[in-house]
Amino acid sequence: MQLFYAPEFSIPCYTLPEEESKHCVRVLRMGVGDELHITDGRGTMHRCKIIDDNAKRCVVEVVESIEEYEKLPYTLSMAVAPTKNIDRFEWFLEKATEIGVSEIYPLESAHSERRQIKPEREEKVITAAVKQSLKAYHPTLHPMTTFKALVQQPFDGKRYIAHCNSSIGERHYLGSLIKKGENVQILIGPEGDFSPEEITFALQNGFKAISLGNQRLRTETAATVATVIVSTINML
């Protein structure tokens, strides 16, 4: 199954952009009559047939459209402080997309090591993971958001903050709190953890404090572990 991503996809026929046309015809050596799949990133998977194998404007015709293809039974919103080494944050973007995530907020907190990202670059990482893992849903990458603004945003579901400060209340293991089918938002801080003030502010605004186990985890590892835990609970 060869998957292409086209958020502006239209039926019954669609012309692939030049770069995708070149990849399809010259790299993959596909021609008239061959089938490929295209997703709009909003849940629809289109099975298509090539009707014009021009390397600059390959045209396909829709054979079948499947809506809500492998839709997740839950919403997972991950708010993660980008790492100083951006490759590590991009690794999380890739793995979270493969595992299953609905939206990602790059989070700016008091101890953030990085306060800017390159959205176009990060979108490409997510898109590549969508295509590689054959997803019909493209996770939403939000702009960099401050901790306070994120906490004050409404969210229709359970909200959790992962932190390592044992002096601020009690923490519970994430896997013991979430239930199958629940919408979940999880905050993961930078290597220096969230500040005590941030943790207290989140707790005062409806968040529950969580741990991800006994191990000390790096930011991108913690975010990926949280994503896996939510996915696993929903497969039980």
Q: Are 130 and 39 in contact (CB under 8 A)?
A: yes
Range 161-178 average pLDDT: 94
Range 11-39 average pLDDT: 95
Q: What pLDDT score does 122 carry? A: 98
User: Is the Cα torsion angle 128, 132, 137, 142 positive or negative in sign?
Assistant: negative
pTM of the model: 0.94
Q: Are 25 and 31 in contact (CB under 8 A)?
A: yes
Residue carrying structure tokens 């670059």: 121
Q: What pLDDT score does 236 carry? A: 82
Buried b (16+ CB within 10 A) or exposed e, 50-66: beebeeeebbbebeebe
CA distance 128 to 213: 30
pLDDT in tens, 176-205: 999 999 999 999 999 999 999 999 999 999
Q: Which residues contact 132 (CB under 8 A, 6 or more apart)?
A: 98
pLDDT in tens, 62-96: 999 999 999 999 999 999 999 999 999 999 999 99
CA distance 4 to 116: 29
pLDDT-derived band at 1, boundaries 50, 70, 90? confident
Nearest by Cα to 101 from 210, 178, 183, 176: 183
pLDDT-derived band at 169, boundaries 50, 70, 90? confident
**Which domains does the chain possess?**
3-66 (2.40.240.20), 76-233 (3.40.1280.10)
pLDDT in tens, 98-153: 999 999 999 999 999 999 999 999 999 999 999 999 999 999 999 999 999 999 99
Q: What pLDDT score does 141 carry? A: 98
pLDDT-derived band at 174, boundaries 50, 70, 90? very high
